[in-house]
Structure 1
Amino acid sequence: MNYYVGVDVGTGSTRAALFDGDGKLIKISNSPIEIFNSVPDFYEQSSEDIWDSVKKVVKNVVNGTPKESIKGIGFDATCSLVLLDGAGRPVTASLNEIPSSGDDRRNVILWLDHRAEAEANFINMMGNEVLNYVGGKISLEMEIPKILWLKKNLPDTWNRVKLMFDLPDFLTWKSTGSESRSLCSLVCKWTYGANPDGKNGWNEEFFNEIGLSVLKENNWQRIGNEVKAPGEAVGKGLSRTAAFELGLAEGTPVGTSIIDAHAGGLGMIGCSAPDISNNFTSRLGLICGTSTCHMAVSDKPTFVEGIWGPYYSAMVPSLWLNEGGQSATGKLIDHVIEIHPAASSIRKKIYGKMHIQQYLSNLLQTMAEQRNFPDVSYLTKDLHVWPDFHGNRSPLADPSLQGMISGLSLSSDEENLAMMYLATIQALTYGTKHILESLSNSGYSIETILICGGLSQNPLFVQIHADVLNLPVLIPSERESVLLGSAILGSCAAGAYPSVNKAITAMAGSGSLVKPRPVSYQYHVKKYKVFKKLLNDQREYKKMMNEAI
């Protein structure tokens, strides 16, 4: 048997999995990674801590399997910025004047870090044509605003940094010693390839305009001058040191990396089910974790205001990718639950028996039956949520937006928490509908929703998406789509398949279908109107208060 390893570095943990050549999961392991959050909106990690975690989980999944049977390994990770000096040592991303920070160990600016808001606003004000490829506005979550922030605020760090990696590319560098970068990371988060002639490469005019012309030195070495397509073999495979650390054979092929959400899209876009079109361009993939990414591909470049892209071959070769997203989904649901007074008593009651979200879903079903409602969704007729507690990524591209709740009472019991939980899920789904509307208005014809990640295991979350969007939702039988996507990259690097597309088809497998129920569709149509009204109200409130200051 031939096996492939997929490694996924998420926001709060590292995972690895062993797959066979048909995409069947054999073994999985996970390990937490540390997040530093000294001040609001500053989120940092340690690349050394991350690599230690990678070593641990990979060793766990390959233990007991002959090294010669493991033919390839692939990596995915969050689009976080890693800072290293000329010797490959960490360089701090922290402000020295903040107590307990400024140490070099904290050398990763996490994707959800919002420190670069002013820099993103400056870049957007300049109005360069590069912005056409990020939905009209660059996001403060992307790497270029963060790099500009570093230049302005951490001069010592700026002088010491000689290598800047997207986290997925740091992992392949750590594995092989190669400084090559992934087309996926550079195109999606670094503005690579955003040129009027359509050619790949850095847009020199853009970097000159925003004050980062220094990055052109040494043929762009600091940010990358060797770019490879996802799945392309990196260097000579695992170095001797990395092979020892991971428990694998030296020279094991390493696939060029991919962003974690894009790995999820890659791992599930080829999933099949009866009576569902296999056309990749008719599918919208939802990769749900701390945040949610919405992946759609097309045969031609499609420019959608507020939606990132189009990015050529960034996920599926020869197809253009558009990427929407919500900055806080799983994190928002957890937040709403954790701050509620009833959460602790529920956890004590169900300890070890079930997940608290399952308990709340069961409670909602009981509440709906007691009220003779045809569907649990009707319970929130007077409770409405705007879910942008961490700003809006798509389709409004406005990080200044905040969360809103209408319909609060003095109640703090279990039923009240269940209602808040339901209203939050509905609001997140309306956010997906908002993104889907923008894609459809720009020419996409989406027929099926695919979903993976932690929230795909929540039946209520999945069913509400089907009902609100009035589309079938396909859940891959192999639930670990993100890890499968990175393993597919390893299989391609090993030459197991002639192309990434062939590997997708061979390893994606089948899935189960959740169909929309007409019983609550019109209810959601009305509630969606309230959802949009909340946005208008928030903007009006801000305008009124700005005029008062």
Structure 2
Amino acid sequence: VMSGDEQEPSSYYVGVDVGTGSVRAALVDQRGLLLAFADQPITKWEPQFNHHEQSSEDIWAACCVVTKNLRETCWDKAGHFFDLPDFLSWKATGVTARSLCSLVCKWTYSAEKGWDDSFWKMIGLEDFVADNYSKIGNQVLPPAASLGSGLTPEAARELGLPVGIAVAASLIDAHAGGLGVIGADVTGHGLSCEGQPVTSRLAVICGTSSCHMGISKDPIFVPGVWGPYFSAMVPGFWLNEGGQSVTGKLIDHVVQGHAAFPELQAKATARCQSVYAYLNSHLDLIKKAQPVGFLTVDLHVWPDFHGNRSPLADLTLKGMVTGLTLSQDLDDLAILYLATVQAIAFGTRFIIEAMEAAGHSISTLFLCGGLSKNPLFVQMHADITGMPVVLSQEVESVLVGAAILGACASGDFASVQEAMARMSKAGKVVFPRHEDKKYYDKKYRVFRKLVEHQKEYSAIMNGD
């Protein structure tokens, strides 16, 4: 017999997440549990080196496939200019309203002042100002607002859903991940943030690249960190968004480029493991009596192989590795992988320090995204920042966040905050090993020296 709280929920929501390589969708109930999941790859073209293209029609088709799969368990080029989340909600509802999240975070729109005509004139796109900004959006809605009359008959047929289902004003994927984790119920985990406001939490959405989302009651300007944006993620709060240009992509690049990678692949396949699960167990094997992290005592990485987004905002920066030897074996690959994971965690620490110096007060990290499935990545973030890391009960937090929007648009919850508290739950909590703090403080000093030195080299080369 179920108690009142445990009765089977009667309403279900579909969360859709468009990533770099695939579209993912989930069926989520009112308790925030994923009941079904589907994904579909999307096509990427590289017409020339470093030029990447995707097709919005292909993305919409993939959205239709995943949504139909869940149920079983043309746009005019000159008419409108959409960011992807707004394109998808337009395809679903026929409503051209834009999400405040997309416009504020990507399109230089101000929640207080609206569009800035001088910017469009300066870059030669004054056409966008014409006809009351009809091509770029003159109706702007906060995330989770209900769009028009819901799903149009055509979209309903293509998605395999009933006509008129409520559709929410969208969020950018990382912001949906932040929404999906930052309000999680942490009761009973022994965390200091349990009695603190939600502003003491930092959501880190870590995949191909990483976003660091912190919210505050009043606007805080953080040099090198985007924002503050009002109501762009959690209604009523100001959002600051730090980021790292490459994280998952950097780890892949370093590991796949090593001479021992074919051997690693063969051994991981023989054990039916991912290469990263194999590397993590290999590190445990070679660490001897010391903690795993100590294997990089003389190997240090600066991770900006693709420039720095936060907190330096310097796209000219390059990657650095110091401590290389002639060794090319599996041990060498495992230790280089570890040093790269640590470098990304030091980058997170650098961003947190900039946010705290500007007025944020952060005590706990909430991680989601692909890299949060890697226990070494999670433990290094805890050890290097000195903060506990909370993982969601549901790993696919972006989808839970997207479903939370749908839950609010449907009217089932009075506010986004209420839906967040009900639908996102803390799963595992990873605490830092405080006994290793001195070692990581030293490595962090080296980390900060690396970029100082890189700037000195640049000054020498650019000098007379």
The runs of 5 or more residues in structure 2 that have no matched partner are 1-9
Q: Is the aligned partner of 1:314 residue 2:232?
A: yes
Q: 2: CA distance between counterparts of 1:419 and 1:405?
A: 12
Contact 2:184/2:424 (8 A) holds in 1 = yes
Q: 1: CA distance between counterparts of 2:267 and 2:376?
A: 21
Q: 1: CA distance between counterparts of 2:55 and 2:27?
A: 25
Contact 2:390/2:426 (8 A) holds in 1 = no
Deviations 1:251-271 (A, max 9, x none): 111111000000000001111
* 1:180 aligns with one of 94, 97, 106: 97
* 1:61 aligns with one of 53, 64, 70: 70
Q: CA deviation at 1:410?
A: 1.8
Q: 2: CA distance between counterparts of 1:319 and 1:36?
A: 38
Q: CA deviation at 1:510?
A: 2.8
Contact 2:185/2:421 (8 A) holds in 1 = no
Q: 2: CA distance between counterparts of 1:45 and 1:544?
A: 41
Percent of matched pairs sharing the same residue: 52
Q: Is the aligned partner of 1:473 residue 2:428?
A: no
Q: CA deviation at 1:533?
A: 1.1
Contact 1:380/1:423 (8 A) holds in 2 = yes
Q: 2: CA distance between counterparts of 1:189 and 1:547?
A: 36
* 1:282 aligns with one of 165, 178, 200: 200
RMSD: 1.4
Q: How does 1:356-395 map to 2 (within 5 A)?
A: 356-369=275-288, 372-373=289-290, 375-395=291-311
Equivalenced residue count is 449
SS of the equivalent of 1:516 reads coil
Structure 1 range deviating more: 204-213 or 407-416: 204-213
Q: CA deviation at 1:483?
A: 0.2
Q: 2: CA distance between counterparts of 1:231 and 1:469?
A: 33
Q: CA deviation at 1:209?
A: 3.6
Deviations 1:90-146 (A, max 9, x none): 5xxxxxxxxxxxxxxxxxxxxxxxxxxxxxxxxxxxxxxxxxxxxxxxxxxxxxxxx
Q: CA deviation at 1:208?
A: 3.2
Map of 2:341 onto structure 1: 425
* 1:354 aligns with one of 273, 281, 285: 273
Q: Read off the aligned partner of 2:285 and give its amino acid letter.
A: T
Q: CA deviation at 1:5?
A: 0.3
SS of the equivalent of 2:171 reads strand
Q: Is the aligned partner of 1:527 residue 2:443?
A: yes
Deviations 1:276-313 (A, max 9, x none): 32421000110011110000000000001000000000
Q: 1: CA distance between counterparts of 2:286 and 2:159?
A: 51
Q: How does 1:3-402 map to 2 (within 5 A)?
A: 3-64=12-73, 88-90=75-77, 161-193=78-110, 199-273=112-186, 274=188, 275-276=190-191, 277-278=193-194, 279-351=197-269, 353-369=272-288, 372-373=289-290, 375-402=291-318
Q: 2: CA distance between counterparts of 1:400 and 1:40?
A: 19
Q: Read off the aligned partner of 1:357 and give its amino acid letter.
A: Y
* 2:374 aligns with one of 458, 464, 470: 458
Q: 1: CA distance between counterparts of 2:99 and 2:151?
A: 17
Q: 2: CA distance between counterparts of 1:394 and 1:38?
A: 29
Map of 2:4 onto structure 1: none
Q: Read off the aligned partner of 1:296 and give its amino acid letter.
A: G
Q: 1: CA distance between counterparts of 2:226 and 2:268?
A: 41
TM-score (normalizing by structure 1): 0.80
SS of the equivalent of 2:46 reads coil
Q: 2: CA distance between counterparts of 1:487 and 1:34?
A: 25
TM-score (normalizing by structure 2): 0.94
Q: CA deviation at 1:336?
A: 0.9
Q: Read off the aligned partner of 2:84 and give its amino acid letter.
A: L
Q: Is the aligned partner of 1:537 residue 2:453?
A: yes
SS of the equivalent of 1:294 reads strand
Structure 1 range deviating more: 257-266 or 503-512: 503-512
Contact 1:28/1:61 (8 A) holds in 2 = yes
SS of the equivalent of 1:285 reads strand
Contact 1:313/1:321 (8 A) holds in 2 = yes
Q: CA deviation at 1:63?
A: 1.2
Q: Read off the aligned partner of 1:55 and give its amino acid letter.
A: C
Q: How does 1:511-522 map to 2 (within 5 A)?
A: 511-522=427-438
Q: CA deviation at 1:340?
A: 1.2
Q: CA deviation at 1:506?
A: 1.0
Q: 2: CA distance between counterparts of 1:285 and 1:40?
A: 33
Moved over 4 A (4+): none
Contact 1:272/1:511 (8 A) holds in 2 = no
Contact 2:225/2:241 (8 A) holds in 1 = yes
Deviations 1:468-523 (A, max 9, x none): 11111111111111000000111111111011111111111232211111222111
The runs of 5 or more residues in structure 1 that have no matched partner are 65-86, 91-160
Contact 1:271/1:511 (8 A) holds in 2 = no
Q: 1: CA distance between counterparts of 2:151 and 2:97?
A: 14
Q: Read off the aligned partner of 1:88 and give its amino acid letter.
A: W
Q: Read off the aligned partner of 2:360 and give its amino acid letter.
A: Y
SS of the equivalent of 1:446 reads coil
Q: CA deviation at 1:272?
A: 2.4
